Structure 1
Amino acid sequence: MSTGMEQLYQQLILDHAKHPAHRGAQEAYDVEVHHVNPTCGDEVTLRVRLDAGAAGGPVIGELTWTGQGCSISQASASVMSQAVAGGSVEHALALSDDFRELMDSRGVLPEKFEGDGLAEEMEDAVAFVGVARYPARIKCALLGWAAMKDAVAQAAATTTTGEDGR
């Protein structure tokens, strides 16, 4: 990866950390989860509300988060929320798996992310490819994504059983 791209990705991460998307605590939600990175103390609290999708599967009707920690954890939560809010749960889980693969890449962008396809779909998430070179920071980048997967699973179980998560 060129130095210019690395600088662009670093700037994108800093921008998301300073101006995070979907940060806040919505009032109407199905589930709230709180995840902590025990290695460094990063924290993310995520609230999600699922809605019925047009195709019958659930969609992420609303997703908000609050947290504290390093720029990487906060920026990654912001990027995750932008990528999955309003989309299907199935798509959000697939993006989470793709992000995990990106974090397992050791800093080399996997071929499937090159070109217009998946890289565009992953939006700003590909900016974290450089983080994958630093094993101690991978947990920081994955924190928000893990919280989203947990929240979506709990919300799906809650809406299936009819329980109220508040």
Structure 2
Amino acid sequence: MSFNNLETLYRQVIMDHYKNPRNRGVIEGDALTVDMNNPTCGDRIQLHLQVEEGKVKDAKFQGEGCSISMSSASMMTQAIKGKTVTEALEMSKHFSEMMLGEELDSDLDLGDAQALSGVSQFPARIKCATLAWKAMEKGINHK
């Protein structure tokens, strides 16, 4: 697949998550709630995590922002559901490295979030892409 075709596919995946977000909403009952925002551009997210026995049982989000931040939140909640806390944190580390343009040698599957790899070329947008992931880290680390 040529670079242009791959870039087009990634753009389509990002826009699909933006227009049809997965896991948008609130977890009722016992859940961690983390509020974060990106004051630079106004993105804000409220992440809800249900963690039981060291696993992410459910993840949902609410918020508003650009297509990058909202699609990243959708992708992240999809990717971490069913993962152990350790796996979710490792995925976040891997995602941050990808955002910094680092060469990744991990077999870790980020799912659709891989489509955001091109954001690394736009430093001003990296905070948009990592907002939900940082919220997840904050929630898990302060549990």
Q: Normalising to structure 1: TM-score of the pair? A: 0.81
Mapped contact 1:31–1:154 kept (Cα < 8 A): no
Q: C-alpha displacement at 1:143, in angstroms?
A: 0.3
Q: Secondary structure at the match of 1:47?
A: strand
Q: Secondary structure at the match of 2:24?
A: coil
Give the CA RMSD over aligned residues.
1.4
User: Hey, what's the Cα distance between the residues in 1 that align with 2:4 and 2:124?
Assistant: 22
Q: 2:141 aligns with which of 137, 153, 162?
A: 153
Q: 1:59 aligns with which of 48, 55, 75?
A: 55
Q: C-alpha displacement at 1:152, in angstroms?
A: 1.2
Q: Normalising to structure 2: TM-score of the pair? A: 0.94
Q: 2:125 aligns with which of 132, 137, 140?
A: 137
Which sections of structure 2, spanning at least 5 residues, go unmatched? none
Mapped contact 1:46–1:64 kept (Cα < 8 A): yes
Match of 1:15 in 2: 16
Which residue type is aligned with residue 6 of structure 2?
Answer: M
Is residue 124 of structure 1 aligned with residue 117 of structure 2?
no
Which residue type is aligned with residue 105 of structure 1?
Answer: G
Which sections of structure 1, spanning at least 5 residues, go unmatched? 53-57, 156-166
Q: Detail structure 1 runs of 4+ shifted over 3 Å in the superposition.
A: none
What does the per-residue CA deviation read over 1:101-142, in whole Å, with 9 as the maximum and x for residues that have no partner?
000007xxx3526xxx33xx1111111111110000000000
Mapped contact 1:29–1:47 kept (Cα < 8 A): no
Mapped contact 1:34–1:46 kept (Cα < 8 A): yes
Match of 1:82 in 2: 78
User: Hey, what's the Cα distance between the residues in 2 that align with 1:26 and 1:50?
Assistant: 11
Q: Which has the larger radius of gyration?
A: 1
Match of 1:161 in 2: none
Identity score, percent: 40
My pick for the range that moved more, 146-155 or 129-138, is 146-155
Q: C-alpha displacement at 1:30, in angstroms?
A: 3.0
